[in-house]
Amino acid sequence: VNDNPSQYKITLSGTLKSPKLNFDPPFLIMMPVPLGVETEADISIIPQDYLRQSQICVELPQIEAEDGDRIYPFSVQFPGGQDIVLSSDGKSNQLICHVSFRSSKPVSVLGNMCFVDREGN
C-alpha cells in the first residue's frame, strides 16, 4: 500500500445458513367429520435464518376419491399475511396458517402440504 512493495494477505471465513421453516405443531391430525362438514386447525410457521424478506406459498395435495375423481379438500389462509418480514434484531416474524378440510366424498388422507418461499426453499 502507498507504493510499498510488501504484500498483505487477508483470510476470510464464514458460515452461510440456509433459510428454513419450522412448524408448531410439526404435523397435523385433523378430526374425522361427516361429509360436507369443515374441520380446521392453525399451524404456526417459524422462519429461521432468513436474510431478506420473502413470501410463503403452499402446494396442496390432490386426493383421489373412491369413485376415481380428483379433489382438493384442503384450503389454507394466512390471516396475518404470507410475508416473512425481518425485525430490527434480525429475527423473522412468526406466521399463522389456517388449514381447513371439507369433502363431499368419503376420503382418508395421509399427505403432505409443501410450504415454499420465493427462492424455492
Domain ranges of the chain: 34-117
Tell me, what's the pLDDT at 79? 96
CB count within 10 Å of CB 50 equals 22
Tell me, what's the pLDDT at 1? 53
Highest mean pLDDT among 1-10, 38-47, 109-118: 38-47
Tell me, what's the pLDDT at 4? 67
pTM: 0.78
Mean pLDDT of 4-10: 71
Contacts (Cβ under 8 Å, ≥6 apart) of 74 = 60, 61, 99, 100, 101, 113
Q: What is the pLDDT of residues 27-83, one digit of tens each?
A: 899 888 999 999 999 999 999 888 888 899 999 988 888 888 899 999 999 999 999
Contacts (Cβ under 8 Å, ≥6 apart) of 34 = none
pLDDT > 60? residue 11: yes
Mean pLDDT of the chain: 87
Tell me, what's the pLDDT at 45? 94
Tell me, what's the pLDDT at 119? 82
